[in-house]
Chains A and B, each alone.
Chain A
Amino acid sequence: MPVTITIPTALRQYAAGNSELEVEAATVGEALERLTATHTELRKHLYNDRNALRNFVNVYVNDEDIRHGAGLETAVKEGDSVMIVPSIAGGAATEEEVGADLTALSNEEIARYSRHLIMPEVGMEGQRRLKSASVLMIGTGGLGAPLGMYLAAAGVGRLGIVDFDVVDHSNLQRQIIHGTRDVGRPKIASARDRLQDINPHVRIETYETRLSSENALALFRDYDIIVDGTDNFPTRYLVNDACVLTGKPNVYGSIFRFEGQASVFWAQRGACYRCLYPEPPPAGLVPSCAEGGVLGVLPGIVGAIQANETIKLILGGGSRPLINRLLLFDAWQMRFRELKLRKDPACPICGENPTIKELIDYEEFCGLKPVAQETNQTEEQKMEEITATELKARLDRGDDIQIIDVREPNEYEIARIPNTTLIPLGQVTSRMSEIDQSRETVVHCKMGGRSAKAIEALKRAGYTGRLFNLKGGITAWSNEVDPSVPKY
C-alpha cells in the first residue's frame, strides 16, 4: 500500500532533494527499508552500526510516535503519512571526556578491541557504549573473579568493586583473580591489580566495606548495572531490594557444590529476586559453600554467564537478555535447564502495592539475628559450649569426655581431632544409641554450626545426657590447640 514518507531538511540531499517520497509498505519498518534501499546514503544517518534506528531518529505515523505503537512493526495503510522527525541533542564534553576522552576510542583501544569491533552486533558504537558504561560488582570471590576479569577485558569504562574480605589460601581453588602471593591482602587491592593489568583503560573504583542497608542505595545510584557475586542470603536480598529501589538491573548468579543459577532481575522489565523467592530459607537450612563445598570451575562458568549478560545489557541491540528467565546449571551432569519467571503482582517490593519502601535489616529478615523471645528460653534449652582450649585442658586433666564428630566422612579424611567418633549430622538421631548418655559429650563439626544442629536434634529425639558444642569447631581446635591439624 502506498504511504508517504516526509523527509526532514537535513536529509533531503540524500533523498534526491525530495521532501516527500511514496513507497509501498505494510509496516513502518518495511517503509524505511524500501526508502533506504533506493536512497542508500540515507541509511547510515537513520540506522546505527547494529541496524537499529538511531536514538535521535523519531518516526511518527499520522502524528503518533511509533514508540507508543508497535515500533517498526507498526502497521501502515494506504494514505498514511510517515514522518521522520529529528530530536536534536547537543552537549559539551563532560569532565571525564576532556581528561580521558571517554567515549572516543584511541588507536590503541581499537587494536585491543578489534575482535569486538569487527562484529556488527558490537562495532564501534557498542564498544563506545561499553566504554561509557559503569558496573558495580558486589564481591570479588568465586563469581566476581571471572566476572571482573571479563568485564575489564571487554572494556567496561568504570568498574566498581565492593569487598571487605582478605585473600585466604582456601580461596585460591576458584577465585582466580587472586594469586598465591596475594594471600593476606585485602581482596579489593589484589583484584584491582589484576584488573588494571588486564586493561589499563578501565577505571577501577574500590570500596573496602561490607555492603549494608546504610550504604547500598548511595553506591548503586552511581552505576548503570549491579552484579551480585555474593554468597549469602541477607546480602542477596539487600542487593535485590536496593536494585529495585534505584531502578537498576541486578545480574544474579549463585553457586553451591556442583550447581549454579543465573538470571537478570530487573523490576522495570520483569521479575525481581523476591518474585522468585519471596522468603529466605530458614536460617541454616541451605549450607554455604564453606560448609558444603563448591567445584572450583563452577563459579568460573556462572560468573562468565553473568559477565556475558552484563555486556549484553550494555550493548542492547537485538540480543535476548536473561530477564524473566532462570538458568540452572548442573556441572556434575553437565546440563543446562531454563525456567520461565513471571513478575509477581503481589511482590512486596516490585509488585502493584509494595510494602517495602526502604531497605530493612536483612540479617533479621533472614533469621540470622536472635529474636527477643529466644532470650527467655529455659536453662535446659540453652546450649552449653566449650572452647577448644578448655576442652584440651580437660582432656589433659584426664576428664572422661567422649567427642562426637558430626561432619561427613570425606571431611574426616582431611582433618580430625584424636579419639573421636564420627556420626555425620544426618545420622545422629538414628545412631543415638552409639552415644553413651552417662558420659559428658562434646559435639563438633568444622565451624560449630552443624554440631549445634546435632545437639538440638539429639535433644528433640529424647537424649538426656550432657552435651557441649565445641565453639568454632575443628578450625578453632587447629587455631588454639594443635596447628598440625590442617584447616580446610
Chain B
Amino acid sequence: MIALTHKQGDDIRRHAEAEYPHECCGLLVGRFTGEGRKVVAEVYPVSNARAEEDRHNRSLILPQEYLRGERYARERGLEVVGNYHSHPDHPAVPSQFDLDHAWPTWSYIIVSVREGTARDLRSWEMETDRSRFNEEELAEGNER
C-alpha cells in the first residue's frame, strides 16, 4: 500500500498533463513504514531523458537524476520509495517494457492521460520473482 495526499496526487496529474502527449516521470520520496507500506512525503518531478521521438511512449530517469533525487531525500531524512510515469492515451497498467525495467519493493504509480486530461492513477509493485506487476492499494487522503 502507498499513501499520498490529494495534493501529491494532483501534482502527478498536473505533471502528466503538462508533458502530454509525451510521458512524464518522477520519483516518490517518503518513508517505508513496514510490511510493504509506503508513505509519500514529496513528489519529485524529473525531466524525461528520452529522445524527442521516443518520449510519447517512453520515459527514462537517468542514474545521475536518480542520485540527485536520493541525495535530496537523504538530506531530509527520507528515502526513495517509488516512482511515477504517465501513459499518454494508454491505460494506467504496466507494460511489458515497464516489467522488463522494474525494480522490486518500489511503488510504480502510473497515470493515464486521455487527450490531455489525467484520468486513472494506479499503483503497482513488482512480484519478487520479476514475473509480473501486482496492483497495490493507493490511498489518496487529506493533508497529514
User: Is B truly associated with A?
Assistant: yes
Whether A60 sits at the interface, judged by CB under 8 Å, is yes
Whether A112 sits at the interface, judged by CB under 8 Å, is no
> What's the least CB distance linking A103 to chain B, in Å?
5
The interface bits of chain A over 1-45 (1 if a CB of B lies within 8 angstroms of the residue's CB, else 0) are 000000011111110000000000000000000000000010011
Expressed in whole angstroms, the Cα–Cα distance for A347 and B59 within the complex equals 38
Whether A94 sits at the interface, judged by CB under 8 Å, is yes
Whether A97 contacts B96 in the complex (CB less than 8 A), given A10-B106, A12-B105, A92-B23, comes out as yes
**Which chain A residues border B63 with CB–CB below 8 Å?**
58, 60, 65, 85-87
> What's the least CB distance linking B73 to chain A, in Å?
9
Q: How many residues of B contact A (CB 8 A)?
A: 38
B96, A103: Cβ atoms under 8 Å?
yes
Whether A88 sits at the interface, judged by CB under 8 Å, is yes
Expressed in whole angstroms, the Cα–Cα distance for A88 and B80 within the complex equals 12
Interface hits, A56-71 → B, CB 8 Å: 56, 58, 60, 65
Expressed in whole angstroms, the Cα–Cα distance for A299 and B83 within the complex equals 52
B106, A56: Cβ atoms under 8 Å?
no
A88, B61: Cβ atoms under 8 Å?
yes
A91, B103: Cβ atoms under 8 Å?
no
Whether A418 sits at the interface, judged by CB under 8 Å, is no
- A11 in complex: contacting residue of B97, B100, B101, B104, CB < 8 Å: B104
Which of B1-9, B87-95, B134-142 is found at the contact surface with chain A? Answer: B87-95
- A10 in complex: contacting residue of B25, B89, B105, B110, CB < 8 Å: B105
Nearest residue in A to B48 (C-beta to C-beta)?
A90
Most chain B C-beta atoms within 10 Å of own C-beta, residue among A10, A13, A92: A92
Whether B41 sits at the interface, judged by CB under 8 Å, is no
- B103 in complex: contacting residue of A83, A86, A97, A98, CB < 8 Å: A86
A93, B58: Cβ atoms under 8 Å?
no
A44, B97: Cβ atoms under 8 Å?
no
> What's the least CB distance linking B93 to chain A, in Å?
8
Whether A8 contacts B90 in the complex (CB less than 8 A), given A87-B63, A88-B103, comes out as no
> What's the least CB distance linking A70 to chain B, in Å?
18
**Which chain B residues border A10 with CB–CB below 8 Å?**
80, 103-106
B105, A92: Cβ atoms under 8 Å?
no
**Which chain A residues border B101 with CB–CB below 8 Å?**
55-56, 88-90
A90, B103: Cβ atoms under 8 Å?
no
Whether B143 sits at the interface, judged by CB under 8 Å, is no
**Which chain A residues border B96 with CB–CB below 8 Å?**
93, 97, 101-104
A94, B105: Cβ atoms under 8 Å?
no
B66, A85: Cβ atoms under 8 Å?
yes
A9, B23: Cβ atoms under 8 Å?
no
- B66 in complex: contacting residue of A65, A87, A98, CB < 8 Å: A87
The interface bits of chain B over 43-85 (1 if a CB of A lies within 8 angstroms of the residue's CB, else 0) are 0000000000000011111110011001000000001110101
Whether B98 sits at the interface, judged by CB under 8 Å, is yes
Expressed in whole angstroms, the Cα–Cα distance for A55 and B102 within the complex equals 11
- B97 in complex: contacting residue of A12, A101, A103, CB < 8 Å: A103
Expressed in whole angstroms, the Cα–Cα distance for A146 and B10 within the complex equals 57
A97, B130: Cβ atoms under 8 Å?
no
- B95 in complex: contacting residue of A12, A13, A60, A92, CB < 8 Å: A92
Q: How many residues of A contact B (CB 8 A)?
A: 32
Interface hits, B101-115 → A, CB 8 Å: 101, 103-106, 108, 110
> What's the least CB distance linking B133 to chain A, in Å?
11
**Which chain A residues border B57 with CB–CB below 8 Å?**
91-94
Whether A89 contacts B97 in the complex (CB less than 8 A), given A9-B32, A9-B80, A60-B63, comes out as yes
**Which chain B residues border A90 with CB–CB below 8 Å?**
23, 25, 58-60, 83, 85, 97-98, 101, 108, 110
- B79 in complex: contacting residue of A9, A13, A14, A87, CB < 8 Å: A9
A91, B58: Cβ atoms under 8 Å?
yes
Expressed in whole angstroms, the Cα–Cα distance for A266 and B98 within the complex equals 31
**Which chain B residues border A44 with CB–CB below 8 Å?**
129-130
> What's the least CB distance linking B131 to chain A, in Å?
11
A11, B59: Cβ atoms under 8 Å?
no
- A14 in complex: contacting residue of B27, B83, B90, B104, CB < 8 Å: B104
Expressed in whole angstroms, the Cα–Cα distance for A301 and B54 within the complex equals 39
**Which chain B residues border A87 with CB–CB below 8 Å?**
60-63, 66
Expressed in whole angstroms, the Cα–Cα distance for A88 and B106 within the complex equals 11
Most chain B C-beta atoms within 10 Å of own C-beta, residue among A11, A65, A91, A93: A91
A89, B105: Cβ atoms under 8 Å?
no
**Which chain A residues border B110 with CB–CB below 8 Å?**
90
Expressed in whole angstroms, the Cα–Cα distance for A460 and B63 within the complex equals 72
Nearest residue in A to B85 (C-beta to C-beta)?
A90
Nearest residue in A to B38 (C-beta to C-beta)?
A9
**Which chain A residues border B104 with CB–CB below 8 Å?**
10-11, 13-14, 45
A9, B97: Cβ atoms under 8 Å?
no
- A92 in complex: contacting residue of B25, B61, B88, B108, CB < 8 Å: B88
Most chain B C-beta atoms within 10 Å of own C-beta, residue among A12, A93, A94: A93
Nearest residue in A to B98 (C-beta to C-beta)?
A90
Expressed in whole angstroms, the Cα–Cα distance for A55 and B128 within the complex equals 18
10 new A-B contacts at CB < 8 Å, known A11-B105, A103-B100: A9-B105, A11-B103, A56-B103, A86-B103, A88-B27, A88-B101, A90-B98, A91-B57, A91-B85, A93-B57
20 residue pairs A–B, Cβ–Cβ below 8 Å: A8-B70, A9-B80, A10-B105, A11-B103, A41-B128, A44-B129, A65-B63, A87-B61, A88-B61, A88-B66, A88-B101, A88-B103, A89-B97, A90-B60, A90-B85, A91-B59, A91-B87, A92-B90, A97-B97, A102-B96
